[in-house]
Amino acid sequence: MMAMTRGRCLPWVLTATILAALAASGDARAQGAADKAAAETLFEEGRKLMAAGNAAAACPKFASSQKLDPGLGTLLNLGDCYEKVGKIASAWAQFKEAASIAESSGDSRRADVAHKRASALEPRLSRLSILAPAPAPPGLKVWRDGTPIDAALLGMALPVDAGQHVIEAMAPGKKSWRTELKVEGDKASVSAQIPQLEDEPAPAPPVRGTTPSATPIRPDSGAEPGPGGGWSTQRKIAIVSGGVGVVSLAVSGVLGLSARSKWQDAQDRCPGGHCTTQADVDLGSDARSSANLSTVFFGVGLAGLAAGAVLWLTSPDGKEQARATSLSLTPHTGPGLTGLSLRGGF
């Protein structure tokens, strides 16, 4: 039964595999066609720029075209373009590669053209030698203008274009090294000596038996002046406390006036303390309630003012310590009287 099932599934698996391969092939062909179209457009644009005498703008067009769709004709045009902008080593390299490709494909005419162009440029080549330190540190890596240089090429005079070049070197456990040098014109011979790379500083070992010293943190009393000469936290609290006291006294005054007015009305309506209606009785009760609230707010107001004064007067002013200040707050209660007294010496 299992063999029959596998036999029936096999054609479907083969079909799916073939369809997937065809789809991938179709995608590759579509991408290849797009690259060829773009490469042809870049090539034609490069030719127009060369005809207009703008080789500097044409070279990147030819280079991009060659990258998308390599071709012998593009390679020859790129070499010609590089020669016109003074990149002799780059032009020589393109012609050498073109000659090799032409020979492989049996195109003797263009192979001969490429050989002649490369031979004509060879006497003009400038060369740069990068010398490794002796002995070279293990794992030494070298770059020229951001391109890695194989260790086998170190010490060899390699063709380079005229202009500025950056040489970099690094190795595990060593500090990196970098230098810049300039190759002047044709037939120049320049060398760069990589020095012995310095060791990276070893990390400091932890000291056993010691703990980081803790910086004592002084509790903030709120008494110091604020930064820039501003008020301290204590003085800000003093202002808030005083403000609460002022508001409480104002409320006490309003309630006191209301209580007095209601009490006078109740006296008029209840001569001799005899009230005839419930409304008259309630009016007298409201008068007493307002009077009691007025007394409470009066006490709160005095306490707020007293606390604000104490906080203000005992806070440093930021220039010199305030003089010793003593204040005392004493409540007084009695028949028909509730209040606070504030005493102090400055």
> How many whole angstroms separate alpha carbon 302 and alpha carbon 305?
5
| pLDDT value at 8 more than 60 | no
Bridge partners of residue 158, in order along the sequence: 128
**What residue ranges do the domains of the chain occupy?**
32-123, 126-193, 230-345
What mean pLDDT is predicted for residues 134-140? 93
Beta bridge partners of 177: 169
The residue type found at 154 is L
Of 5-9, 20-24, 155-159, 230-234, the one with minimum mean pLDDT is 5-9
Give the per-residue pLDDT at 210.
Answer: 55
pLDDT digits (tens, 9 = 90+) for 287-344: 777 778 778 878 877 787 787 777 777 776 544 444 444 445 455 544 444 454 545 5
Q: Has this prediction a pTM greater than 0.75?
A: no
pLDDT surpasses 70 at 170: yes
C-alpha torsion sign, points 82, 87, 93, 96: positive
Alpha carbon distance 98, 74 (integer Å): 9
> What confidence category does residue 40 fall into, taking pLDDT thresholds of 50, 70 and 90?
very high
Q: Residue 1's pLDDT is what?
A: 40
| pLDDT recorded at residue 299 | 80
Tell me what percent of the residues of the chain surpass a pLDDT of 90. Answer: 47
Cα 128 to Cα 149: distance, rounded to the nearest angstrom:
12
Q: pLDDT (tens digit, 9 = 90+) per residue, 195-226? A: 999 999 888 777 775 555 555 444 444 444 44
What fold characterizes domain 126-193? Immunoglobulin-like (2.60.40)
Max intra-chain CA distance, the chain: 141
pLDDT at 282 over 50: yes
Q: What is the pLDDT, as a whole number, of residue 53?
A: 94
CATH homologous superfamily of 32-123: Tetratricopeptide repeat domain (1.25.40.10)
Instruction: Say what percent of the chain tops pLDDT 70.
Output: 70
Q: What is the DSSP string of 261-279?
A: HHHHHHHHHSGGG---SHH
The residue assigned the tokens 């479907």 is 12
Radius of gyration from C-alpha coordinates of the chain: 49
Shared fold status for 32-123 and 126-193: no
- Residue 153's Cα: distance from chain center in Å? 41
Predicted confidence at residue 2, as pLDDT, reads 40
Q: What average pLDDT is seen over the chain?
A: 78
- Listed in sequence order, the residues at least 6 apart from 165 whose beta carbon sits closer than 8 Å to its beta carbon are 128, 144, 145, 180, 181, 182, 183
CA 164 – CA 102 distance, rounded (Å): 33
Residue whose C-alpha is closest to residue 177's, from 209, 216, 136, 207 = 136
Alpha carbon distance 300, 252 (integer Å): 9
- Report the interhelical angle of 278-313 vs 233-269 (nearest 10°): 160
User: What's the confidence (pLDDT) of residue 316?
Assistant: 66
pLDDT for 70-81, tens place per residue? 999 999 999 999
Cis preceding linkage at 133, omega within 30 = no
